[in-house]
Structures are given as structure tokens and as C-alpha cells.
């Protein structure tokens, strides 16, 4: 399915599920992994607003799969343990809106520009790579489950009082011109404790942000318009 096909199927599902949450558990942390996340998070927010229970600190688009993939691919190229690699991935959760900040990787890594461009493209298109490898038998499942579990475990740790828990997530944001944007977040008992922002980035990464913003804005608007036009 294309992301447009996905939108048509998943928009209604997400709107119905989040309406049930807004009515029955309005204080809950809502983590949405249903694609296209760039649109399903605006849908979730608008549904919560309609019910008068919107709290932007408790609505998360789960983009952890991009982080996990970036960590794995960098580790593979550098002969590192992927569990010890951390690449922040910002922006959105589709194609060129996925922006891995390899300049901020810990431990610090360097790649020549051609290798960096290839690596970035592989992270952005990893979902398609899996679909092609499975040759019609489906899309990423195990890695998606792992990423979802990792994010939720982090959130639960933070709710239970663990300090210093940081994960990237697609949330309501003032970091760019986009009303939603993924950046590293400090998580706490009430959800987002602090948006850690974009930080210092390379000119290559700046250019990727500039190129991603129009697509992100369109996806966000599509989600918001869907809720506006719902019967």
C-alpha cells in the first residue's frame, strides 16, 4: 500500500480509537504507531480537542523504528554494538521527512559525504527495503514491535519516576515552522517534561530539514482536515 492508501484505511481507525480514549481515559498517554504517523498524530490531537481533553504533552507519534534502524546501520558500518549507538532521528516518519542526525551520534562517527548520503537514504527507505525483501509477504513486523516496545518501556520508566529518559517522538512542537515535529524529548511523570529541540546540526542536515518541511506540513494538514470533515 502507498501511504495514501494507508491514510484512507487508518485515518478512520485512529479517529475512532482515539475518540474512545478521549471519552474513557482522557488522562492516558497516547502512543500512535499506526501509519502515516505524520497525519495520524494531528488526527489524534484534533479528536482530543473536539472532546475538550487535549494535552499535547501526552500524545506521541512513535518514530522509534527510525532510531533503531539508524543505530543498527551505523553500528554495522563501524563495527559497533548497536545497543550502544544512539542516533537522534528528527522530523517526521515517512521518506525524506525522516532526518537522522548522524552528526550527533554517540559515540561520534564520521562518514565521507557519499557514504553519508547513501546511509541516510537507506534509513529513510528501510521500510521499503523490508517490503521488497519480503516480496509481497508483508512489511516490517518484528522491528516495528521492538521499536514500539522500546518507546513504551521508556515512557513507563519515566512515569514511574526514572530520571533522564530521552526518546525521539513526533509531537506538537515549536521547534520549526511545522506544528508537529519529532525531536529528542525528556520524558517524565506527566509525559513530555522538556522538548530538547534540534541542537547543533550540519549543513547537510539543515538542508534535509528545509526539504522535509513542505511535505510534513501537507501531511499534518491532511490529518487535521480529515477530523474537520468527519461527520
- Same domain (yes/no): 49, 118: no
Please name the residues in contact with 109: beta carbons below 8 A apart, sequence gap of 6 or more. 74, 78, 102
What was the pLDDT predicted at 136? Answer: 87
Q: Which residues pair with 181 in a beta bridge?
A: 171
- Mean pLDDT, residues 122-148: 94
Cis, bond preceding 107 (omega within 30 deg of 0)? yes
Q: Are residues 29 and 98 in the same domain?
A: no
- Do residues 155 and 205 share a domain? yes
Question: What pLDDT shows up at residue 142?
Answer: 95
Q: What is the dihedral of CA 50, 53, 54, 58, to 10 degrees?
A: -140
93, 174: one domain: yes
> Would you say residue 113 has pLDDT above 90?
yes
Please report the pLDDT score of residue 6 as a whole number: 86
Q: What's the pLDDT score for residue 116? A: 98
* Residue at grid coordinates 525483501: 133
Domain shared by 20 and 128, yes or no: no
Query: Within this chain, do residues 100 and 43 fall inside the same structural domain, yes or no?
Result: no
Half-sphere exposure of 217 (CA within 13 A, CB side): 9
Residue 68's CB is within 10 A of a number of other CB atoms, namely 20
Same domain, 188 and 135: yes
- Helix or strand or coil: residue 187? strand
Domain CATH code at residue 30: 3.40.50.720
Report how many domains make up the chain: 2
CATH number, residue 144: 3.90.110.10
Asked if residue 29 and residue 90 are part of one domain, the reply reads no
Would the pLDDT of 56 be above 80? yes
| The pLDDT of residue 144 is above 90 | yes
What is the spatial distance between Cα 219 and Cα 45, in angstroms, rounded to a whole number? 14
Q: Is 93 one of the catalytic residues?
A: yes
- pLDDT recorded at residue 231: 76
Residue 2 pLDDT level (bands cut at 50, 70, 90): confident
User: Which of these is catalytic: 42, 75, 87, 93?
Assistant: 93
Cβ(170)–Cβ(34) under 8 Å?
Answer: no
**How does pLDDT run across 159-217, given as a tens digit for each residue?**
999 999 999 999 999 999 999 999 999 999 999 999 999 999 999 999 999 999 999 99
Q: Are residues 118 and 179 in the same domain?
A: yes
Q: Are residues 38 and 87 in the same domain?
A: no
70 and 137 assigned to the same domain: yes
Specify whether 52 is located in the same domain as 84: no
From CA 60, how far away is CA 199, in angstroms rounded? 20
**How would residue 218 be classed by pLDDT, with cut points 50, 70 and 90?**
very high
Mean confidence (pLDDT) of the chain: 97
In the predicted model, what is the mean pLDDT of residues 25-51?
97
**Structural domain span for residue 47:** 3-61+219-229
Strands (E), 62-101: 89-91, 98-100
For helices 64-78 and 142-159, the axis angle rounded to 10 degrees is 110
- Please tell me the predicted confidence (pLDDT) of residue 156: 98
Amino acid at each position: 500500500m502507498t501511504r495514501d492508501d494507508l491514510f484512507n484505511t487508518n485515518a478512520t481507525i485512529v479517529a475512532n480509537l482515539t475518540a474512545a480514549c478521549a471519552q474513557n481515559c482522557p488522562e492516558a498517554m497516547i502512543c500512535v504507531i499506526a501509519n502515516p504517523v505524520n497525519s495520524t498524530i494531528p488526527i489524534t490531537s484534533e479528536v482530543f480537542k473536539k472532546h475538550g481533553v487535549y494535552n499535547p504533552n501526552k500524545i506521541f507519534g512513535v518514530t522509534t523504528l527510525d532510531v533503531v534502524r539508524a543505530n543498527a546501520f551505523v553500528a554495522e558500518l563501524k563495527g559497533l554494538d548497536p545497543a550502544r549507538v544512539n542516533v537522534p532521528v528528527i522530523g517526521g516518519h515517512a521518506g525524506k521527512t525522516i532526518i537522522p542526525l548522524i552528526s550527533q551520534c554517540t559515540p561520534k562517527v564520521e562518514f565521507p559525504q557519499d557514504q553519508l548520503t547513501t546511509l541516510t537514504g537507506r534509513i529513510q527507505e528501510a521500510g521499503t527495503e523490508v517490503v521488497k525483501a519480503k516480496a509481497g509477504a508483508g512489511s516490517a513486523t518484528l522491528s516495528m514491535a521492538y521499536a514500539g516496545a522500546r518507546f513504551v518501556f521508556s515512557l513507563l520508566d519515566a512515569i514511574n519516576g526514572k530520571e533522564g529518559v530521552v526518546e525521539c517522538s513526533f509531537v506538537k512542537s515549536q521547534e520549526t515552522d511545522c506544528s508537529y515535529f519529532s525531536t529528542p524529548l525528556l520524558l517524565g511523570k506527566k509525559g513530555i517534561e522538556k522538548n530538547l529541540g534540534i541542537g547543533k546540526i550540519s549543513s547537510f542536515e539543515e538542508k534535509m530539514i528545509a526539504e522535509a518541511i513542505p511535505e510534513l506540513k501537507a501531511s499534518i494538514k491532511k490529518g487535521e482536515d480529515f477530523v474537520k470533515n468527519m461527520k
